[in-house]
Structure 1
Amino acid sequence: MDLTTLQSGLDTIWVVLTAAMILLMEGGFALLEAGFVRQKNAVSIIMKVFVDITFGALIFFFFGFALMYGKDVSGLIGSTGFFMRGDLSHISLSISHDTYWLFQCAFVIAVISIVSGAVAERINFHAYILYTIAMTGLIYPIAGHWVWSVGGWLGRLGMIDFAGSAVIHALGGFSALAAARIIGPRIGKFAENGSANIVPPSNLPLASVGAFILWFGWFGFNSGSTLSATNGSIGHIAVTTMLAAASGGAACILFTMLRYRKSDPPMVINGSLAGLVGITAGCAFVSDAAAILIGAVCGIAMVFATEFLESKGIDDPVGAFPVHGISGSIGTLAVGLFAKPELTAGVGRSYSGLLYGGGFQLLGVQALGLAVVSVWGFALTWIAFKGINRAVSVRVSRDEELVGLDVGIHGVPAYSQDTDFIELQQLKMDYKQ
């Protein structure tokens, strides 16, 4: 066996393994969101995650991958690779195109899962399927092409987004903001005077386990983006990922103790996730100290963003926009500040952040890319939801929302015992009447 074959084999194993780690994050999303929402809507969370995985994978295979990574047309869109057929020779990697598709498929599934939490407890299941098709087949692939594909216009300008603070998290976060704004708050979330009512999470231990699974999967998310098992930066990427997550959580613990006189568990959970989101763009290119600072800033900013949304009457049950939209934005811009030239050499040319003598060039490109990707996600989601609403209501009926989506839409509660069977059947009969 020659060295090239051995390298290809090792890289294939690495990429498939990390793709599986990213896919496991869907279990984290499911537990996190099910724990944050009320018990009567836990099954609906699980069903949306299954839509993400099933429809998301198929649509990305049919045409999403082609639009994202096919041969470039004017820096805007891909044109080959539909059904993973046609000319993909411009993708020159040590792994096969099938292996690369699998890894990227795990990414696209994560994007739609971000939006899922923002519309929890009131979105029509049929409408969610249609939106999943739009996100995985059009919105995300085109934005991804601009940054990550061979020939994408933002990539040519020099935008750096190693594992997706902008392409995945800012895009998903601002899409979630648009979706939450259109669909409106849950019944009873806001009082008549506009003040926010507390909707207690159903199961915080469950949510915390979900966060831990997401944290675990993030090592695949970030380190796997090397696409090589022998890349010397894997260890550094894992360390910055760990430090940012720890810093985000620690900052939230201390900050909520000061602000609320108690350490707020949901905020702490989201604080660690915010740190993970923030480091995703620059995990390979910033120092350990910068990673700690990025995580802390993201964790605290997430708290303020959560409060801001509530002050504007926007209901985001799991904090999708504060965690992903805000932290993704901070992380993308942070690359323009903290990128070290000796660490960026691996992307083809050396980049220097503002604090390392690079001036405002990289920061300006990062800001432009962030703005474009965020506006694209927000605007296209707004258009998609408005269009879907013409075909099928994006929101469930008032009765369905009050009884809970588990029984009202899916016909089964999340938690039941054999002795509850008769009562369940009577509840379903009463609802149908």
Structure 2
Amino acid sequence: MGHLFRHQEGDAAPPPAVGNIPAPQASTIDYDWILISGFIIVLTQVGFAFIEAGSVRYKNSQSIVIKVILGLFLTILIWWLFGYGFSFGYDFQTNFMGGTKLGGYNWEATQFGNDYTNFVFRASGAAIAVSVLSGAAAERMTFLAWSILAIVYAGFIYAGLAHWTLASGWLTTLGYKDFSGAGVVFFAAGVAGLVVTVLLKPRRFRFDPNTTLQFQRHSPIYIAFGSILVFAGWLFYNGGIVAQGANSKYTQGLVAVNTLVAGATGGFFAFIIRYFQYETTSLVALSRGIVSALVAVSAATDDMKPWTAFIYGLLAAVFYSVLAKVIPKVHIDDPVEVVPVFLGNGFLGIFLSAFFDTKAGIIYGFGGKLLGMQLLGLLIIFVWVAFFVLITLLILKGFGVLRIDSETESVGIDKAQCLGEAIVFANQVDEAPLIQKTELVQLGNSQIGSGFRPGFR
């Protein structure tokens, strides 16, 4: 991710440029633009909160927003204490992690670098990864377990990946390319999410053949609102990485156009695909398609033509639509669809960049070296993330604090632990321990026209 972490490299000497953006000189780095972009990226947390609150059952909508906000605050604090230093501090030639700039010590603000501005942008970006991960833990993980996982992921797991993908990081120098984190941010968060949701196991009765207990999303409208906010914030997320003032005005515009084209294409075609699958429109598919395409195009937004961004968006819509149908069939309970959107399309984006990158892609005559490096990079990311997330979760499980108890899960985390539900329906009923199909049909028939929602919690 040579571009992604090129603003500042700690105490190391500036390396040769990677990719088509010239290495920024201190006098041309637009620190105001970086700072403003960081502010806007923080606001994307509102979008993720909407997406996740809309994706869960209403009895857990308040608790998932708490986890998003907790993740943001914990990420900021742990990045100030450790994460920023691990990512951007001097690594004493170990190539593993930085060991300076911890806790704000020896941060600088000069014409040669501004740790304070860089921290705002990087911490806000790290918070996105943590927010993605919170969706995988929806409706099942305790607040304590989530807080510990967020700290470990942001402060160690993600920080290590960030250091490796500096312009001088060992993964980048091998030839791995990732403009704004399709692999290091989103694929990695998707891998972590997969481990989380598999180890937590499905929600009670989610795949039980003897019940038709509904697991409907609380609000597709929330998901749509959140996706539009994330779409807008992504322009600053991608655009803030191109921070070289007058030397990169063309690239800044290109990045914005590619981001817009990919997002619009992904949303439109996911909507069309869902219509042909089920002969009905889907606001959720429309929304998920937008984010899926944004994830994929982040791999090489600066090194592609707009028509390539269209292809990314189209393939992202297809990839999402297929995975969203397959994942439940293998009994993976993923309420926010972290695996199809982030893991799947993070992989897709990195893979496609080996073909469409204008400076090293196969279709531009550069051979298959980049393809090999991209696949190697994805493998390294997968192993690193999966191993440490699994270890963290097993420790939490060993102490008995990983998953909420069955009673809390039945009544809802909001009611059990959050001073009541965020939304209360006048005619709602609590979830029974198990609702048999015959009982549900009889109950539903007796309540026709009453607005009753059997098991809709």
Report the TM-score range of the alignment, normalised by the length of the smaller protein.
Answer: 0.7 to 0.9
Aligned mate of 1:127, from 145, 153, 160: 145
Deviations 1:179-200 (A, max 9, x none): 000001111211238x997521
Quote the residue 2:68 is aligned against. 49
Identity of aligned residues (%): 27
* CA distance in 2 between partners of 1:62 and 1:5 (Å): 26
Work out whether 1:27 is the aligned partner of 2:21.
no
Task: Tell me the residue number matched to 1:379.
Answer: 387
Report the counterpart of residue 191 of structure 1 in structure 2. Answer: 208
Helix, strand or coil at the partner of 1:331:
helix
Give the match for residue 265 of structure 1.
Answer: 283
**Superposition pairs of residues 268-307 of structure 1, within 5 angstroms:** 268-307=286-325
**1:321 and 2:339 are equivalent in the alignment:** yes
Equivalent position of 1:217 in the other structure: 233
Contact residue 70 and residue 88 of structure 1 kept, 8 A: no
**Distance (whole Å) between structure 2 residues aligned to residue 382 and residue 306 of structure 1:** 24
Q: Distance in 2 between matches of 1:43 and 1:175?
A: 23
CA contact (8 A) 2:107 2:115 kept: no
Counterpart residue type for residue 25 of structure 1: T
2:361 aligned residue: 353
Does 2:320 align with 1:312? no
Tell me whether 1:80 sits opposite 2:88 in the alignment.
no
Using the alignment, how far apart are the partners of 1:200 and 1:79 within structure 2?
47
In the alignment, the residues of structure 1 paired with residue 212 and residue 33 of structure 2 have an alpha-carbon distance, to the nearest angstrom, of: 46
Letter in 2 for 1:398: S
Q: Which residue of 1 aligns with 2:444?
A: none
Q: CA offsets, 1:214-249, max 9 Å, x none?
A: 001000110111133432211100000011111111
Determine whether 1:333 maps to 2:371.
no
Counterpart in 2 of 1:158?
175
Cα distance in 1 for partners of 2:230, 2:378 equals 24
Letter in 2 for 1:245: G
The reply to whether residue 170 of structure 1 matches residue 178 of structure 2 is no
In structure 1, give the amino acid aligned to 2:241: S
Counterpart of 1:100 in structure 2: which amino acid? N
**Cα offset for 1:122?**
1.2
Deviations 1:162-193 (A, max 9, x none): 11000100000010000000001111211238
The question of whether the paired residues in 1 share the 8 Å contact of 2:107 and 2:116 is answered with no
The yes-or-no answer on 1:397 pairing with 2:405 is yes
| Deviation of the 1:100 alpha carbon | 0.5
Distance 1:211 1:94 in 2: 37
1:239 aligns with 2:257: yes
Counterpart Cα distance in 2 of 1:45 and 1:88? 37
Contact 2:171 2:377 in 1 (8 A): yes
Please show how residues 103-118 of structure 1 align to structure 2 within 5 Å: 103-118=121-136
Distance 1:290 1:196 in 2: 43
Residue 15 of structure 2 aligns with which residue?
Answer: none
* C-alpha displacement of 1:109: 0.4
Which stretches in structure 2 are left out of the alignment for 5+ residues? 1-24, 428-457
In the alignment, residue 325 of structure 1 is paired with which amino acid?
A: L
Structure 1 unaligned regions, length at least 5: 342-351, 421-433
Decide which moves more: 26-35 or 387-396: 387-396
**d(CA) in 2 for partners of 1:95 and 1:296?**
39
Q: Deviation at 1:298?
A: 1.1
Counterpart of 1:78 in 2: which secondary structure?
Answer: coil
Q: CA RMSD in A?
A: 2.4
Please tell me the residue identity of whatever aligns with 2:198: R
Distance 1:209 1:94, change over 3 A: farther
Superposed CA deviations along residues 247-276 of structure 1, whole A, max 9, x for unmatched, are 111111221122222233222211111000
What does 1:128-143 align with in structure 2 at a 5 Å threshold?
Answer: 128-143=146-161
**CA offset at residue 6 of structure 1?**
7.8
Q: Measured at CA, do residues 55 and 392 of structure 1 come closer, stay the same or move farther in structure 2, by a change above 3 Å?
A: farther
Distance apart, 1:416 and its partner CA? 5.4
**Larger helix proportion of the pair:** 1
Q: Secondary structure at the match of 2:177?
A: coil
Deviation digits for residues 286-329 of structure 1, max 9, x if unmatched? 11111110111111111211222111111000101110101011
Question: Normalising by structure 2, what TM-score?
Answer: 0.83
> More displaced, 259-268 or 361-370?
259-268
TM-score between the two structures when normalised by the length of structure 1? 0.88
For 1:268 and 1:380, locate their aligned partners in 2 and report how far apart those are by CA, in whole Å: 34
Q: Judging changes above 3 Å, is the alpha-carbon distance between structure 1 residues 307 and 5 closer, same or farther for their aligned structure 2 residues?
A: closer
Deviations 1:313-370 (A, max 9, x none): 11000101110101011111121111112xxxxxxxxxx2011011001111111111
CA contact (8 A) 2:221 2:283 kept: no
